[in-house]
Structure 1
Amino acid sequence: MPVIKILPHAQLCPAGDEFQAEPGVSVCEALLENGIEIEHACEMSCACTTCHVVVKRGFDSLGEIDEIEEDLLDKAWGLTPTSRLSCQAIVSDEDLTIELPKYTINHARENH
């Protein structure tokens, strides 16, 4: 199983983390299943950018970005060439290193 390494994030994962993920799940699902409470205001329906992540390693293993995700990413805070919506990025068999952006477009964090 691939390993997902999360770089330290002051609120969500201060020490960073590393865990195995089942291929075929979204990065967002893997984060939530492992106790990292990433925002996902649209309930993972690809309708917002609150689950935006920056893929530092393994970007090409996540498959193609479709037009809807690409358009939404244009609105994400801290967009980079390796940004993805974690609800749309599906884990394959390659290890990933993920950075959680400091901010989202939400003014207040929603409780899920």
Structure 2
Amino acid sequence: MPQIIFLPHPELCPDGAALEATSGETILDVALKNGISIEHACEKSCACTTCHVVVREGFYSLNESDELEEDMLDKAWGLEPESRLGCQARVSDVDLVVEIPKYTINMVSEGH
């Protein structure tokens, strides 16, 4: 069973976390079911960039991003070559190290 290591994030997981994942799950779903509340304003439909993550290790083991995800990522804050939308990046059988960016671009956030 692969593991996702979330690096510390000041608000969402200050101590970081090492979580078990199932192949085929998205990074976002693993985070949410374990209490890491990564924002997902479009409800996981690949229509925003609020679940943007940077995959520091294991990036090439993920499913390939499609054109829609690539277009959305172009709008993400702090875009890096290893950036993915957490709602689209599916875990394989390889461990991952994931960083949640400090900021997100969200024009309207109902939680605030």
Q: TM-score range by the shorter chain?
A: over 0.9
Residue correspondence of structure 1 range 73-88 to structure 2 within 5 A = 73-88=73-88
- Paired with 2:8 and 2:110, the residues of 1 have a C-alpha distance of 21
Change (3 A) 1:9 1:110: farther
User: Letter of the aligned partner of 1:49 in structure 2?
Assistant: T
> Is 1:91 aligned to 2:91, yes or no?
yes
- Paired with 2:15 and 2:31, the residues of 1 have a C-alpha distance of 15
Change (3 A) 1:83 1:37: same
User: Letter of the aligned partner of 1:17 in structure 2?
Assistant: A
Structure 1 gaps of 5+ residues are: none
Aligned equivalent of 2:35:
35
Residue correspondence of structure 1 range 37-56 to structure 2 within 5 A = 37-56=37-56
- Paired with 1:10 and 1:109, the residues of 2 have a C-alpha distance of 19
Give the length in aligned residue pairs: 111
User: Letter of the aligned partner of 2:31 in structure 1?
Assistant: L
SS class of match (2:70): helix
Identity, in percent, stands at: 63
Q: Is the 8 A contact 1:4 1:19 kept in 2?
A: yes
SS class of match (1:84): strand
- Paired with 1:9 and 1:62, the residues of 2 have a C-alpha distance of 22
> Is 1:9 aligned to 2:13, yes or no?
no
User: Letter of the aligned partner of 1:40 in structure 2?
Assistant: H
Change (3 A) 1:110 1:39: farther
Q: Deviations over 1:24-51 (max 9, x none)?
A: 1111000001110000000000000000
The CA RMSD over aligned residues, in Å, is: 1.1
TM normalised by structure 1 equals: 0.95
SS class of match (1:9): coil
